[in-house]
Amino acid sequence: MNESDILARVKERFGARVLAEYTFRGQTAVTIAPETLRELLLFLRDDQETQMDWLMDVGGVDYLGYGSDEDERDWRFEVAYQLYSMGKNHRFRVKVAVRDETVEIPSVWDLWAIANWEEREVWDMFGIRFTGHPNLRRILCHDEFVGHALRKDYPINKRQKLSQPSEMILCEKVEWA
Amino acid sequence: MKRLDQGGPGTHVQPIPTELLTINIGPAHPATHGTLRLQLQLDGETIVNCGAEIGYLHRGYEKQAESTFYQLVIPYAERLNYMGPVNNSNAWCHACEQLLGIEVPARAQALRVITSEMGRIIDHAVCIGTNLVDIGALTNFWYMYNYREKIYDLYEELTGARMMVNYPRIGGVAMDAPDGWFESLIKVIDEMGEAVGDVRSLVERNRIFMDRTIGVGAITKELAIQHSVTGPCLRAAGIPYDVRKAQPYWGYEKYDFDIPTGEGGDTYDRTIVRFREMEQSVRIIKQAVASIPGGPVMVDDHLVALPPKDKVYNTMEGLINHFKLIMHGIRPPKGEIYSATEGGCGELGFYIVSDGSPSAWRVRIRPPCFANYSVFPKIITGGMVADAVAALGSINVIAGELDR
């Protein structure tokens, strides 16, 4: 099964809930709304044909001011989930459309434990919240940091003063419950 | 042995009131080999809870990569995993080439394979050497660093720099190998193979080493899948996943090599898998040198490759071409790509979103260490502090890649 077959299978199953699809240099991706995310990821993971059992990466993208008029989209952010199937040796990308920072994405940390840290990084860098995340704190930047560094409206040369040592970090215990 | 308050010998002794002790390891600690902070809660010597904090080496790599031209990111990329720098810059150029849709000449591909495998060898050499130092075996460190120096000498001969070599370019590599370089490479690689065997025989059946590492910090298959662990840590757990085999690039499918795997996924297995991978890298380099094709080392595409210097200085067209590439950069089409290669620690992925301008709209790096380290608090809980140090070294966490 190659990537365009996966795309066809997802479209067949999810129909109009696929907001957009991309094919570029043999790689395919779909964009969906946050409420479809868990259902789609579970489908791709458990379906016999796709078997996407690995979540390789989660990364946000800020499309503020991207391209020209023809690239106009109704959402500002996208969060891209890179899936990989160890058994079938194919990849697929699922992107979640996030209209603005008030929209929350359902967390998938209970499906893949790596999503715990990856989602913390998306929150840290883009300010996108994840519903149901056990410990949504900054991960790379300091607790005192104001703003979200990878947004396009955060200036690259901005400097902030950080003075306090960070708090106790043992509260991660909740993730083993 | 039972503790006194659990009815062992001497139960007449009243239980001693104890309380949990919280200690910090890092961010600057010799055993972390980088800037990591761990907070441990100890019951006696046993770790009952562990929190990990990262970000002390966060340099805004992804933001920086968005604001400079594609070709100017190459030196930054080498600062990701600075133990095997060329693997990262090769991977970055590979991602850009996938975005541009160009194929690199065969000779440049072979040179990338050779430099990447050299990078893998020194990455593993440092990892094994420092890990063994942490658990008390200093001799191996000198053996490993000795040959690391020789590989740095080879890099210097090839590129002019020792560590951060800035060797690949988008569309090929910067320069061809000088005369006699392959011969000296084979000589060093042969000696290296012997040294790896020597060190391996020093530790493989060593009672102290086995006692310190077997069953310590084991990453099971299930845990590895949950945390997307890749690289030697995954293969030690028994899953033979290697991007070089699964989705070959640069002609890796032409070379005959094995994927070493372990069984238990513990610290011992990880170390042995690294030893065996170094032997496989030696095999790959020998095959690549023996079968290296002739021809150019840079793609013949004036939109990507800089013209040769004599054309720049002697022809108008060459000068304009050079000026355009330096000042206006390389312009890939609009689109997005996820490109994966096998770095020293696992799958190194670059997710690039392009808007058609000479700098990327978004660069997301999938650093193997980020996933590998996220599993660390789980595998050391229940063990001893000294075991945590042994396990940390064998996971090979490179802070530059972890924090970007």
- Is pLDDT larger for residue B33 or for residue B165? B165
Residue B94: pLDDT band by 50, 70, 90 thresholds? very high
Q: Are residues B161 and B23 in the same domain?
A: no
- Average pLDDT (B44-72) is 86
User: Within 10 A of B147 (CB to CB), how many other CB atoms are there?
Assistant: 23
Kindly state whether residue B60 falls inside one of the protein's structural domains: no
Token match 């991978």: residue? B277
Which CATH number covers residue B275?
1.10.645.10
Of A53, A114, A170, the CB nearest to B39: A170
Kindly state whether residue B279 falls inside one of the protein's structural domains: yes
Token output for B36? 């990591």
Residue A175: pLDDT band by 50, 70, 90 thresholds? very low
Interface pTM, i.e. ipTM: 0.87
Average the pLDDT over each of A161-175, B150-164, B325-339 and give the range with the smallest value: A161-175
- Is pLDDT larger for residue A163 or for residue B269? B269
- Average pLDDT (B319-338) is 89
Q: Are residues B114 and B247 in the same domain?
A: yes
Average the pLDDT over each of A163-167, B90-94, B158-162 and give the range with the smallest value: A163-167
The 10s digit of each residue's pLDDT in A91-127 is: 889 999 988 888 889 999 888 889 989 999 999 999 8
Kindly state whether residue B96 falls inside one of the protein's structural domains: yes
- Average pLDDT (B263-286) is 90
Kindly state whether residue B230 falls inside one of the protein's structural domains: yes
Token output for B341? 């290669």
Domains held by chain B: number: 2
Q: Are residues B312 and B171 in the same domain?
A: yes
User: Within 10 A of B211 (CB to CB), how many other CB atoms are there?
Assistant: 12
Q: Are residues B37 and B111 in the same domain?
A: no
Name residue A27's beta-bridge partners.
Answer: A24
Beta-carbon contacts of B14 under 8 Å, excluding residues fewer than 6 positions away, are none
The 10s digit of each residue's pLDDT in B100-141 is: 989 899 999 999 999 999 999 989 988 888 888 888 878 888
**Is the distance from CB of B236 to CB of B375 less than 8 angstroms?**
no
Is the CB of A141 less than 8 angstroms away from the CB of B403? no
CA dihedral B265, B271, B275, B281 (to 10 degrees): 70
User: Would you say residue A168 has pLDDT above 70?
Assistant: no
The pLDDT value recorded for residue A80 is 92
Mean pLDDT, all residues of chain B: 86
Q: Are residues B23 and B74 in the same domain?
A: no
- Is pLDDT larger for residue A136 or for residue A3? A136
Average the pLDDT over each of A165-174, B102-111, B215-224, B385-394 and give the range with the smallest value: A165-174
**Is the distance from CB of B395 to CB of B389 less than 8 angstroms?**
no
Sign of CA dihedral A148, A150, A151, A152: positive
The 10s digit of each residue's pLDDT in A63-99 is: 888 877 777 788 888 899 999 988 888 888 999 998 8
Minimal CA–CA distance to A29: which of A59, A72, A70?
A59
Q: Are residues B142 and B174 in the same domain?
A: yes
User: Would you say residue B236 has pLDDT above 60?
Assistant: yes
Where do the domains of chain A lie? 3-159
Kindly state whether residue B62 falls inside one of the protein's structural domains: no
Residue B17, class by beta-carbon neighbours within 10 Å (0-12 exposed, 13-18 middle, 19+ buried)?
A: exposed
User: Would you say residue B387 has pLDDT above 70?
Assistant: yes
Q: Are residues B296 and B348 in the same domain?
A: yes
Amino acid identity of residue A170, one-letter, is L
Q: Whole-angstrom Cα distance, residue B109 to residue A122? A: 35
Amino acid identity of residue B108, one-letter, is A
Token match 């942490």: residue? B134
Kindly state whether residue B218 falls inside one of the protein's structural domains: yes
Interface-testing mutation among A84, A92, A121, A144, with chain B (most B C-beta atoms within 10 A):
A84
Which residues in chain B have Cβ-Cβ distances shorter than 8 Å to A173?
49, 51
Q: Are residues B193 and B330 in the same domain?
A: yes
The pLDDT value recorded for residue B5 is 54
Greatest C-alpha distance within chain B: 97
Kindly state whether residue B65 falls inside one of the protein's structural domains: no
The pLDDT value recorded for residue B12 is 66
3-state secondary structure B297-343: CECCCCCCCCCCHHHHHHCHHHHHHHHHHHHHCCCCCCEEEEEEEEC
The pLDDT value recorded for residue A79 is 92
- Average pLDDT (A26-50) is 87
Minimal CA–CA distance to B330: which of B108, B64, B96, B172?
B96
pLDDT over 70 percentage in chain B: 97
User: Would you say residue B142 has pLDDT above 50?
Assistant: yes
- Average pLDDT (B34-50) is 83
- How many beta-carbon contacts under 8 Å exist across A and B? 123
- Average pLDDT (A11-16) is 81
Counting Cα atoms < 13 Å in the Cβ hemisphere of B61 gives 26
Name residue A90's beta-bridge partners.
Answer: A85
Three-point CA angle B329, B334, B335, nearest 5°: 120
Q: Whole-angstrom Cα distance, residue B198 to residue A79? A: 48
Q: What is the CATH number of domain A3-159?
A: 3.30.460.80
Counting Cα atoms < 13 Å in the Cβ hemisphere of B250 gives 32
pTM exceeds cut of 0.95: no
- Average pLDDT (B352-381) is 89
B13 is in which domain, residue-wise? 4-53
Kindly state whether residue B182 falls inside one of the protein's structural domains: yes
Q: Are residues B249 and B274 in the same domain?
A: yes
The pLDDT value recorded for residue B307 is 87
Q: Whole-angstrom Cα distance, residue B305 to residue B325? A: 8
CA distance B98 to chain A (A): 8
Q: Answer whether B355 touches A (CB < 8 Å).
A: yes
Residue B8: pLDDT band by 50, 70, 90 thresholds? low
Is the CB of B228 less than 8 angstroms away from the CB of A67? no
The pLDDT value recorded for residue A177 is 32
Is the CB of A169 less than 8 angstroms away from the CB of B349? no
Name residue A11's beta-bridge partners.
Answer: none
Q: Whole-angstrom Cα distance, residue B294 to residue B402? A: 38
Mean pLDDT, all residues of chain A: 83
Q: Whole-angstrom Cα distance, residue B278 to residue B283? A: 9
Minimal CA–CA distance to B398: which of B356, B369, B363?
B369
A93: closest chain B residue by CA = B338
Q: Are residues B46 and B119 in the same domain?
A: no
Token output for B267? 């610290």
Q: Are residues B91 and B32 in the same domain?
A: no
Token output for B95? 């991602």
User: Would you say residue B336 has pLDDT above 50?
Assistant: yes
Instruction: Give the 3-state secondary structure of residue B43.
Output: strand
pLDDT over 90 percentage in chain B: 15
- Is pLDDT larger for residue B274 or for residue B193? B274
Which residues in chain B have Cβ-Cβ distances shorter than 8 Å to A139?
54-55
Q: Whole-angstrom Cα distance, residue B163 to residue B152? A: 7
The pLDDT value recorded for residue A49 is 80
Give residue A158's Cα distance to chain centre.
26
Token output for A25? 């240099």
Q: Answer whether B63 touches A (CB < 8 Å).
A: yes
Q: Are residues B36 and B148 in the same domain?
A: no
The pLDDT value recorded for residue B297 is 87
Residue B388, class by beta-carbon neighbours within 10 Å (0-12 exposed, 13-18 middle, 19+ buried)?
A: buried
The pLDDT value recorded for residue A96 is 92
Residue B214: pLDDT band by 50, 70, 90 thresholds? confident
User: Within 10 A of A99 (CB to CB), how many other CB atoms are there?
Assistant: 13
